[in-house]
């Protein structure tokens, strides 16, 4: 889910995968691995992604939807 959401927001904001990789100072392969859910970004990179894309980390992590199961 994270990878799909990351891909969708990136495209919505008009960034290429290469631009994202460049802004994060990582390789395009590493960035593509995030979008394919092969690997997960570190906490610091997750925060950078959210800042670049203008969304919350909860949104990227798909934690913005109600589950109906609150404790």
67, part of any domain: no
Residue 41 in contact with residue 49, Cβ under 8 Å?
Answer: yes
Residue 43 lies in a domain: yes
The 10s digit of each residue's pLDDT in 2-57 is 999 999 999 999 999 999 999 999 999 999 999 999 999 999 999 999 999 999 99
Q: For residue 41, give its domain range.
A: 2-60
pTM over 0.75: yes
Q: Is residue 68 assigned to a domain?
A: no
Report the number of distinct structural domains present in the chain.
1
In a domain, 65, yes or no: no
Q: What's the Cα-to-Cα distance from 30 to each of 48, 62, 69, rounded to whole Å?
A: 15, 21, 34
Find the CATH number of the domain harbouring 27: 1.10.260.40
């Amino acid at each position: 889910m994270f990878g799909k959401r990351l891909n969708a927001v990136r495209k919505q904001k008009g960034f290429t995968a290469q631009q994202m990789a460049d802004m994060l100072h990582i390789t395009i392969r590493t960035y593509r691995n995030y979008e394919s859910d092969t690997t997960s970004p570190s906490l610091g990179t997750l925060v950078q992604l959210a800042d670049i894309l203008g969304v919350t980390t909860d949104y990227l992590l798909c934690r913005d939807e109600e589950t109906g199961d609150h404790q």
